[in-house]
Structure 1
Amino acid sequence: MHTLNLGILAHVDAGKTSLTERLLHTAGIIDEIGRVDDGNTRTDSLALERRRGITIKSAVVSFPLDDVTVNLIDTPGHPDFIAEVERVLGVLDGAVLVVSAVEGVQAQTRVLMRTLQRLRIPTLIFVNKTDRAGARHAPVLREIAERLTPRAVAMGPAPTGLGTRAAHGPAHADDDPVLTARLTDLLTRHDDALLAAYVEGDGTLAPGRLRRALAEQTGRALVHPVYAGSAFTGAGTDDLVRGIRELLPGAQGDPDGEVSGTVFKVERGRSGEKLAWVRMFSGTVRTRDRLPFGPGPGALSEDRVTGIRVFDGGTDTPAGSVGPGRIAKLTGLGAVRIGDTLGTTGTAGPAHHFAPPTLESVVVPTAPAGRGDLHAALAQLAEQDPLIGLRQDDVREEISVSLYGEVQKEVVQATLAEEYGIGVTFRATTTICLERPTGSGAAYEIIDTGDNPFLATVGLRVDPAPPGSGVSYAREVELGSMPYSLMRAVEDTVVETLAQGLYGWRVTDCAVTMTHSGYWPRQSHAHGTFDKSMSSTAGDFRLLTPLVLMDALRRAGTTVYEPVHRFRAEIPADTLGPLLPVLARLRAVPGPPSPDGTVCVLEGEIPADRVHDLQQRLPGLTRGEGVLETAFHTHRPVTGTPPHRSRTDHNPPDRKEYLIHTVRRTGTGGGPG
């Protein structure tokens, strides 16, 4: 048997959890199909998920399909939990993208499909809810072709009884002329040998050859078979199961090779132990193995594996080992984090496929004495979701969390109350901006010169870099000009300091170069005791670097950029007039409207912090008929006065305040005169 790690992805309420239940029932894993509305589905195990009827955390369940073992991963559909989907993408061999036959292609559907295509993940499309009132077939296929991919191919005819419980439309037989014509037209575009066989033959291709070509091109994410049916009634799901079994490629990997795997989820067990959810790519991990892990080479930790649980037959069971292609829960890796690579062959952590959170809010405990417990609880939540991005302000005694939206805020609040017994409220949600250097700037400070109180010489230059390039660091000084530990202290501190620029926002898209270095070697008195007042330490460089970097950044100047979403609104044409002034007040920039009879499509850009307002106001402005899609697009320079973010460091842009905090705290007073 081979293994297939399969993701079920969709816009919220398209029915992916219901499809998961149907697949489990078809495989004989469950006797009765659970319902999201009843809160009894297998993969929505959290009480909060059952109560709200949405998937919040990804879940894995394993089942056999003939000679294929499927590890099915159910993912959240609500855009506020896109980070959970992010972590799953890197472990998939294939995916099923669910589209509602009623609502059609929605905003999250498009975001997911673009990402699946960019990562070249083989994907089948399932048009669900054909039994619901308002279900459509041909219009939804057109939407798929126009808004998702032109390389989709319908595997069956339009269902009969569309919009009723009797809706049914089995897939075409392999030799059906309608299907063979569709496949011939699509598959020959990507296969010259197939095209030659078609041209040189009698103008037909054998159904068996077309099926093999379909499997090959689906496996390369060149084409996307489309099935239609209902997860509720089971219509069309047998055909989908056949497609999963025959068209999606299984996992590969050498069980005797070097250990390589990815941690895509971290949670706590009943006893508080850390559980690392791992997808294995090669090698075999056994209980009591000492296993290296980390974000990449040079940053590895090592712990002993104390337990392994693999997914099998609808549940997770203890095992002595886990090999390639499998998904397992490992215990014993105390310092492991989401995104870590297992083994020594990894090169870097996972790439980010979606935009990071663009909102944040201060979390306030209802009982002031509970700040310590709140921080500990949020730290555990951040283990499970690193993009929560805790930010602690010790001066104001506040903790902020990063967010994708208001629903995520409600979930964090409910989780803290139910799992940790901590009541919290949130302050108003604010936008997370970023800073980019406007020009180049350089600064340096020399040891034992001027008002430099630290035993260190540091010079830095900041240059702008292309958007999206992040932060790079280089040296123009000889690596041997001072001990490597001091060099590393400067580099690490540069990265830490750039988390808060001149206006308090994270600085990105810049190149930082070390231009000056100098230190005093270790000095001791005659009796052999270390004399700090005459010897440079890493602490001197960590304390001086923020001052120099902020001085260089001030000379370069920075521009604050705010996150901007792309929006697409379908509205009744006669409501365009009242909507336009509202968009202007929300600082949205619409493009020219595209009228289509009684409907008007309006696309444009809107600041991220105004999206929620638009979502709230659109129904009232459009008689409840408006449909809005939004997705993060880019960052734009802020017009007017740049917003400031409160600092959580010792404020290195203000030299006097910074030195009051750092020199007094460390007792540093400079070297001998």
Structure 2
Amino acid sequence: MRTLNLGILAHVDAGKTSLTERLLHAAGVIDEIGSVDDGNTQTDSLALERQRGITIKSAVVSFVIGDTSVNLIDTPGHPDFIAEVERVLNVLDGAVLVVSAVEGVQAQTRVLMRTLRRLGIPTLVFVNKIDRRGARYDGLLDDLAAKLSVPVVAMGSVTGLGTGGASFAPFADAPGLLDVLADHGEELVAAYVADEGSVSCKRLRAELVAQTGQALVHPVFFGSAITGAGVDALIAGVRELLPAAQGDPGGPVSGTVFKVERGPAGEKITYVRMFSGTVRTRDRLRFTGGQEGKVTAISVFDHGSAAHRQEVAAGQLARLWGLTDIQIWDTIGEPPKGAAEGHFAPPTLETVVLPARTADNGALHLALAQLAEQDPLIGLRQDDLRQEVSVSLYGEVQKEVIQATLLNDFGLDVTFRETTTICVERPIGAGSAFELIGKDPNPFLATVGLRAEPGPPGSGVEFRLEVELGSLPYSFMKTIEETVHETLLQGLHGWQVIDCVVTLTHSGYWARQSHMGGVFDKSMSSTAGDFRNLTPLVLMAALKRAGTRVYEPMHRFTLELPADTLGPALPVLARLGAVPRTQASSLIEGEIPAARVHELEQRLPGLTRGEGVLETAFDGYRPVRGPSPERPRTDHNPLDRKEYLLHVVRRV
């Protein structure tokens, strides 16, 4: 039987989860269709998902259509959870992008289609809600082609548009199909010419299947998830037009982890897509970072549920138990061929999480660590000095999710401080510093010299050697490198330092010394601790001489609005720090500080009579204008030598 791993994606409220329910009902997996409004859908299992009527975590269900077993993944539609969506996309064979026939192409619709195109995922479009007043057909097809910048072809016509009796009738011979396919079908054009202006329907259909499978064209189906109109045609399209999973079950083991969760007993459950090979119970698996784990149990998604099996083969999705050290995005076995790297925009907001009871501090940190394990883009920042922990976020809705999860799953009542923007620092110039072993004021048995200088944009932190590789024991060299990366999490102004090259220029140590009785003498011998304690002092001294500049995260934005509201909108954008790059009568494109996006979203309905459409996406960093914002340090502050040494060695 063929296997198809299918994702359903949409802007929030386009009807994605309702369509999932309708598909499961049509396939006989569920007897009754759940309702998002009633909070009883199959895939929204979290309490907050049912309460808010939105999908927060991706969920997997399975059903069979004909000779195809479909693993369907329902993904979040809210922009705050785009990272969850992107993780899922890399394990899909095909996708259905849901668009509302009333609201049309929305901001998140564009973001999703751009990502689908970048990853080359074959995609069908399902235009939902044709039974709603205000639903469109011809104009919406034009919008799909223009706003999504992709070739689309309607697969049928709609009657009774905007009424409860709206229906969808598939075309026997889609008009305009030849014109759409001709752009990428040279053989098709040649056949058209050879046959004196005619091509058989069978040949056209075969070309449509081929080009859809290569993500060159996107068939469009219309219907209603509520009434079921058009859903049978969509199911037939999924089976015929989207390519099945590929992979050799007898090949080398290769898979990708796209989700991690905890079971009722706290055990780690790993969701994996197998691209090659077969994994069996009790197999020992090697995964990213050289780690290993033994598979203790397997469940494979099959006929609407996850059934326990002894093995999972190439092309399938499964849950694995026993891999305690594995993380999201790890590779099992060999890396999948042609696998795309994660293109995750960094979280640009952070907030301090405060327990209602001080006694819950320890439990809160453990709980947040588990949440970060399930979503590695929720970064934790522990402040041992103030006994506080911060989490990084994509948006305000995530705060509500974290708060509800901590209360429901861990029994922890928490509040949040005001959300702040996460800035970064970059070196301005080059700076060097060194301290020699046995020379004042160096209290450590180590010689370390470092040079800090700017690196290429997007390069992160690069560690280089200007000393001979054998001048230090490997463990000491590794300690210096690890400490450099750890220290640069907080620069001169407290923000993480990026795009920086750090070069080791001086090194030295005292070899292991022992007393007459063979007892190790630490006072005469260098240890890894000496290098770990000295490196922050030297690095921050070098960075101080180089200087850093603070950068704030920026989003590019596209704002569509009625032409007569452009005048009032421009001053508001200016006050929010937005910089328009292009401007037309009803369209503004430019960049805006990430910190002001939420405020713009809140003010937009009033500015545009509710007709404005805003699309934003992370676009990099810009130097902060005015005084550099300071972030409270969470370490012992190597910029203040006296304070640092008092904490590290209890003396100055």
Q: TM-score of the superposition, structure 2-length normalised?
A: 0.96
Within a 5 Å distance, the mapping from 1:521-536 to structure 2 comes to 521-536=511-526
Contact 1:341 1:349 in 2 (8 A): no
The count of residues paired between Structure 1 and Structure 2 equals: 652
Task: Please list the CA deviations of residues 36-71 of structure 1 after superposition, one character each: whole Å capped at 9, or x if unmatched.
Answer: 111111101112111111101100001111111111
**Aligned partner of residue 208 in structure 2, secondary structure:** helix
**Aligned partner of residue 38 in structure 1, secondary structure:** coil
Give distance in 2, aligned partners of 1:94 and 1:132: 28
Contact 1:339 1:350 in 2 (8 A): no
1:114 aligns with 2:114: yes
CA gap 1:46/1:189 in 2 versus in 1, 3 angstroms: same
1:659 aligns with 2:645: yes
Contact 2:255 2:335 in 1 (8 A): no
Tell me which residue corresponds to 1:191. Answer: 185
Contact 2:275 2:336 in 1 (8 A): no
Contact 2:471 2:507 in 1 (8 A): yes
Between 250-259 and 270-279, the greater mean CA deviation after superposition:
250-259
1:279 aligns with 2:273: yes
Give distance in 1, aligned partners of 2:314 and 2:72: 16
Between 277-286 and 141-150, the greater mean CA deviation after superposition:
141-150
CA gap 1:623/1:214 in 2 versus in 1, 3 angstroms: closer
1:380 to 370, 389, 394: 370
CA gap 1:350/1:558 in 2 versus in 1, 3 angstroms: farther
Residue type at the aligned position of 1:127:
V
1:589 aligns with 2:579: yes
**Aligned partner of residue 377 in structure 2, secondary structure:** helix
Between 346-355 and 655-664, the greater mean CA deviation after superposition:
346-355
2:425 to 411, 435, 456: 435
Tell me which residue corresponds to 1:31. Answer: 31
Tell me which residue corresponds to 1:168. Answer: 167
1:405 aligns with 2:401: no
1:485 to 461, 475, 478: 475
Task: Please list the CA deviations of residues 161-180 of structure 1 after superposition, one character each: whole Å capped at 9, or x if unmatched.
Answer: 1111211222211xx2x43x
Residue type at the aligned position of 2:82:
I
CA gap 1:198/1:464 in 2 versus in 1, 3 angstroms: farther
**Aligned partner of residue 626 in structure 2, secondary structure:** coil
Tell me which residue corresponds to 1:552. Answer: 542
Residue type at the aligned position of 1:274:
K
Contact 2:255 2:334 in 1 (8 A): no
Tell me which residue corresponds to 2:327. Answer: 337
Contact 1:43 1:61 in 2 (8 A): yes
Contact 2:351 2:416 in 1 (8 A): yes
Residue type at the aligned position of 2:531:
F
1:506 to 490, 496, 505: 496
1:256 to 250, 253, 274: 250
Give distance in 1, aligned partners of 2:419 and 2:339: 30
Contact 2:150 2:218 in 1 (8 A): no
Tell me which residue corresponds to 2:201. Answer: 207
Runs of 4+ in 1 over 6 A off after TM superposition: 346-350
Between 582-591 and 245-254, the greater mean CA deviation after superposition:
582-591
Q: What residue ranges of structure 1 are gaps of 5+ in the alignment? A: none
Contact 1:160 1:168 in 2 (8 A): yes
Tell me which residue corresponds to 1:95. Answer: 95
1:645 aligns with 2:635: no
**Aligned partner of residue 31 in structure 1, secondary structure:** coil
CA shift for structure 1 position 323: 0.8
1:223 aligns with 2:217: yes
**Aligned partner of residue 382 in structure 2, secondary structure:** strand
% of aligned pairs identical?
69
CA shift for structure 1 position 601: 2.7
Give distance in 2, aligned partners of 1:441 and 1:202: 74
CA gap 1:444/1:35 in 2 versus in 1, 3 angstroms: same
CA shift for structure 1 position 594: 2.1
Within a 5 Å distance, the mapping from 1:316-355 to structure 2 comes to 316-345=306-335, 351-355=341-345
Between 636-645 and 249-258, the greater mean CA deviation after superposition:
249-258
Give distance in 1, aligned partners of 2:340 and 2:483: 23
Contact 2:119 2:340 in 1 (8 A): no
Contact 1:340 1:349 in 2 (8 A): no
1:455 to 422, 426, 445: 445
Residue type at the aligned position of 2:364:
L
Give distance in 2, aligned partners of 1:641 and 1:491: 32
**Aligned partner of residue 387 in structure 1, secondary structure:** coil
CA gap 1:575/1:234 in 2 versus in 1, 3 angstroms: same
CA shift for structure 1 position 349: 9.9
Within a 5 Å distance, the mapping from 1:289-308 to structure 2 comes to 289-294=283-288, 299-308=289-298
Give distance in 2, aligned partners of 1:209 and 1:549: 67
**Aligned partner of residue 567 in structure 1, secondary structure:** strand
Give distance in 2, aligned partners of 1:571 and 1:558: 39
Task: Please list the CA deviations of residues 586-624 of structure 1 after superposition, one character each: whole Å capped at 9, or x if unmatched.
Answer: 2222345422xxxx3333322111111122222233343
Task: Please list the CA deviations of residues 346-391 of structure 1 after superposition, one character each: whole Å capped at 9, or x if unmatched.
Answer: 7999733231211011111111221111111111111111111011
Contact 1:122 1:248 in 2 (8 A): yes
Tell me which residue corresponds to 2:303. Answer: 313
Between 347-356 and 195-204, the greater mean CA deviation after superposition:
347-356
CA shift for structure 1 position 413: 0.9
Task: Please list the CA deviations of residues 379-417 of structure 1 after superposition, one character each: whole Å capped at 9, or x if unmatched.
Answer: 111111111101111111111111111111111111111
Contact 2:107 2:613 in 1 (8 A): no
CA shift for structure 1 position 514: 2.1
Give distance in 2, aligned partners of 1:30 and 1:346: 34
**Aligned partner of residue 561 in structure 2, secondary structure:** strand
**Aligned partner of residue 131 in structure 1, secondary structure:** coil
CA shift for structure 1 position 574: 3.5
Q: What residue ranges of structure 2 are gaps of 5+ in the alignment? A: none
Between 71-80 and 529-538, the greater mean CA deviation after superposition:
529-538
1:235 aligns with 2:229: yes
Give distance in 2, aligned partners of 1:226 and 1:453: 71
Give distance in 1, aligned partners of 2:363 and 2:38: 34
**Aligned partner of residue 529 in structure 2, secondary structure:** helix
Residue type at the aligned position of 2:277:
G
CA RMSD of aligned residues (A): 1.9
Q: TM-score of the superposition, structure 1-length normalised?
A: 0.93
Between 316-325 and 449-458, the greater mean CA deviation after superposition:
449-458
